[in-house]
């Protein structure tokens, strides 16, 4: 299995170069919201292990919200974020990237602080890495190559069935399975059925994964006497804060929302980038830190492939603190339109949303961290839309495929791989076609 990893480069933009940077980013697109995968600056399409990538200017229009706590608006530099989700190690990927598109990257990053003509590109990128606090991968181990191969396999099987519809109509599911197996695995099968076997899981990754699997609970266990002692006080403070924290969810500016919408629904998958400030004080920071620790752990070791709770439409997602611990940015790649995404959040995974986003300034009132919150649909939707920021450049390796499509294609392949199949299993498998 090839595990997936993520990278994110975060750097402040030189104010005088902002316009130039925006123009460069815009030039990477064919039209707003649609990237040219072969664009001259970073030809994403050439990187065959890259699932998703984006450039986002972290333009925070809500920094003044902290005023509801009587605190002055903080001035933050304007950041550029460059992030992606890749197969294998992120370091290897970044090396490949820097080796293949040095000029484009230099051009873009030269608009950021501390980047000069003599700067070592790879070093600079490594220094500006900003790791996620929690990361979600829809299906660990499914590579870009596999996505393409399995999509090709499905297309070929479908074409074969269509071309021989009369024959297939009368076949039993087991006979269909055998017939399609013969098509794909016979010795003379044409090359288009390349189905690469999974690469061995890197030993280093496996060791680290096991250490993480055991280490986090062990640490928690060690800390548990302390945590249990703190818990009553924690809950008292939590309840106090929940009862007094103000909600800030004014109707989002029409033009702002319309401009966001221009970047949406060009593919069956959409990008989502949301930025906001945490409620002031260490309490909310620690709460979010703990919640994201749990989310990250669950995403890594517990959840089923293809599921984030009940949600099956997210390909990759991550939560990242922005240079410090006052602001958090959330990135995801999800299927369907943003409204149905938000409805899914409310109706399927409110507890997860409330416990993480609920620590942000202005989020609808939560109860006991996980209850209510986004159930206040109107305020929640305005809150989230207001915190959504435009994603200037967004790349997806395989347009037209949802996460559920990819799962179906994987199941088709897996079913095909087993030499014998029970009648019941064959029926279920054939129904995937």
Smallest gap from residue 162 Cβ to other proteins (A): 7
Smallest gap from residue 54 Cβ to other proteins (A): 17
Q: Which residue number, 14 or 216, has a Cβ lying nearer to other proteins?
A: 216
Task: Look at residues 121, 127, 56 and name the one whose alpha carbon lies nearest to residue 95.
Answer: 121
Q: Are 91 and 75 in contact (CB under 8 A)?
A: no
Smallest gap from residue 429 Cβ to other proteins (A): 8
Smallest gap from residue 358 Cβ to other proteins (A): 15
The rounded distance, in Å, linking the Cα atoms of 304 and 328 is 26
Q: Which residue number, 330 or 429, has a Cβ lying nearer to other proteins?
A: 429
Q: Which residue number, 154 or 327, has a Cβ lying nearer to other proteins?
A: 154
Token pair for 35: 């990237």
Smallest gap from residue 113 Cβ to other proteins (A): 35
Task: Look at the alpha carbons of 12, 18, 20, 24 in this order and tell me if their dihedral is positive or negative.
Answer: positive
- Contact positions toward other proteins, by CB under 8 A? 161-162, 168-169, 171-173, 176, 251-252, 254, 257-258, 261-262, 264-268, 303-304, 307-310, 312, 335-337, 339-340, 343-344, 346-351, 370-371, 375-378, 382, 398-402, 404-405, 407-408, 411, 426-433
The rounded distance, in Å, linking the Cα atoms of 243 and 371 is 13
Q: Are 10 and 128 in contact (CB under 8 A)?
A: yes
Q: Which residue number, 15 or 32, has a Cβ lying nearer to other proteins?
A: 32
Smallest gap from residue 123 Cβ to other proteins (A): 37
Q: Which residue number, 126 or 349, has a Cβ lying nearer to other proteins?
A: 349
Q: Which residue number, 79 or 272, has a Cβ lying nearer to other proteins?
A: 272
Q: Distance of alpha carbon 146 from its chain centroid, rounded?
A: 18
Smallest gap from residue 406 Cβ to other proteins (A): 11
Q: Which residue number, 122 or 303, has a Cβ lying nearer to other proteins?
A: 303
Q: Which residue number, 18 or 264, has a Cβ lying nearer to other proteins?
A: 264
Q: Are 398 and 154 in contact (CB under 8 A)?
A: no
Q: Distance of alpha carbon 193 from its chain centroid, rounded?
A: 30
Smallest gap from residue 287 Cβ to other proteins (A): 19
Smallest gap from residue 326 Cβ to other proteins (A): 30
């Amino acid at each position: 299995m090839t595990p997936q990893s993520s990278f994110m480069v975060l750097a402040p933009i030189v104010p005088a170069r902002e316009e130039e940077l925006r123009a460069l980013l815009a030039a990477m697109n064919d039209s707003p919201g649609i990237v040219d995968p072969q664009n001259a600056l970073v030809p994403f399409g050439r990187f065959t292990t890259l699932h998703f990538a984006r450039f986002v200017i972290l333009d925070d229009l809500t920094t003044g919200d902290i005023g509801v706590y009587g605190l002055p608006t903080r001035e933050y530099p304007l950041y550029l974020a460059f992030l992606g989700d890749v197969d294998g190690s992120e370091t290897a990927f970044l090396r490949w990237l820097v080796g293949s598109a040095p000029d484009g990257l230099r051009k873009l990053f030269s608009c950021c602080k501390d980047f000069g003509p003599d700067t070592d590109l790879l070093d600079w990128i490594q220094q500006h890495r900003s790791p996620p606090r929690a990361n979600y991968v829809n299906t660990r181990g499914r590579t870009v190559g596999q996505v393409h191969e399995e999509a090709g396999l499905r297309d070929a099987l479908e074409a074969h069935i269509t071309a021989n519809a009369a024959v297939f109509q009368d076949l039993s599911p087991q006979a269909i399975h055998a017939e399609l197996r013969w098509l794909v695995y016979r010795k003379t099968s044409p090359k288009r059925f390349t189905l690469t076997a999974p690469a061995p899981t890197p030993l280093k990754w496996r060791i680290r994964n096991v250490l993480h699997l055991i280490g986090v609970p062990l640490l928690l266990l060690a800390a548990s006497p302390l945590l249990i002692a703190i818990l009553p006080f924690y809950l008292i403070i939590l309840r106090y804060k929940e009862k007094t924290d103000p909600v800030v969810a004014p109707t989002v500016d029409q033009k702002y929302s319309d401009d966001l919408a221009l970047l949406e629904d060009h593919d069956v998958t959409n990008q989502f980038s949301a930025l906001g400030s945490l409620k002031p004080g260490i309490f909310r920071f620690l709460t979010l830190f703990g919640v994201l620790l749990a989310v990250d752990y669950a995403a890594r070791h517990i959840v089923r492939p293809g599921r984030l709770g009940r949600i099956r439409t997210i390909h990759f997602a991550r939560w990242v603190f922005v240079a410090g611990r006052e602001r958090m940015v959330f990135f995801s790649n999800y299927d369907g339109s943003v409204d149905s995404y938000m409805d899914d959040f409310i109706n399927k995974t409110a507890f997860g949303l409330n416990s993480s986003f609920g620590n942000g300034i202005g989020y609808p009132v939560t109860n006991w961290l996980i209850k209510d919150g986004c159930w206040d649909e109107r305020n929640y939707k305005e809150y989230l839309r207001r915190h959504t920021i435009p994603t200037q450049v967004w790349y997806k390796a395989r347009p037209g495929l949802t996460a559920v499509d990819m799962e179906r294609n994987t199941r088709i392949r897996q079913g095909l791989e087993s030499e014998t199949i029970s009648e019941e299993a064959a029926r279920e498998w054939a129904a995937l076609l």
